[in-house]
Structure 1
Amino acid sequence: MSTAVATRTRSTKLPSIPITLHRSAAMNLFDDVPSDLPSELVDVLAEGQSVRIERIISTGHKTEPGTWYDQDQAEWVVVLRGEAKLSFDDGEITTMKMGDHILIPAHRRHRVEWTTPNEPTLWLAVFFD
């Protein structure tokens, strides 16, 4: 029995981009998660010239009525704990549970309609060009 092995080669070297760490590189994403928050908590974990990584904690929080996010960068977001519901200005509604992720293109208007009210919803978001 033989096993095929796939390899990837990169034809161009990625440029070196300075990254600023806002927290220790040894941080655990599940540490220091408060359960009682007056507003959503956003921790910028690292950022560079064209990328930003955030840990977001929501406990029953949602986007203010009539407000839409319209971002200059694409956003990839994953729910690590809890649940959430996103809506888009074209009428699409996406319910997200632990492990679900979505890629939101730049300037796709969206909002958070609901997050788990009785436990923190923990998101990891990566914004990039």
Structure 2
Amino acid sequence: MKQPGEELQETVTELDDRAVVDYLLRNPEFFIRNARVVEEMRVPHPVRGTVSLVEWHMARSRNHINQLEENMTLLMEQASTNESLFYRLLHLQARLASAHSLDEFLSRFHRWARELGLAGRNDSSFP
């Protein structure tokens, strides 16, 4: 249960936080005018106690960069997989286009499916 003054304190803090955020959004030059103070500001840190605002911002930027690099790696891996699949399908299309009968077409298609490990699937795509 909250003490009588705690709820009021939370409201005042929220109003103060909101007022500070609004002020900074309206006055982005604040950080230029007060560069020395910004360098001296300390932010609570869960492991190191406190860190400078600059260190805090740099750590957040490093984390963001690491996430972007991980995403880029995943995208490149997916692009490589997609490229491989594209060429397999292109080769399949050429093989199927040169079939002279439906039986030959299906035979080539089933061979391709087996090569990819798709044979034996209970799917309407593979009659």
Q: Shorter-normalised TM-score: what interval?
A: under 0.3
Name the larger-Rg structure. 2
Using the size of structure 1 for normalisation, the TM-score is: 0.20
**Greater strand fraction, Structure 1 or Structure 2:** 1
Larger helix proportion of the pair: 2
Greater length-normalized contact order (CA 8 Å, ≥ 6 residues apart):
1
Please report the TM-score for the alignment, with normalisation by the length of structure 2: 0.20
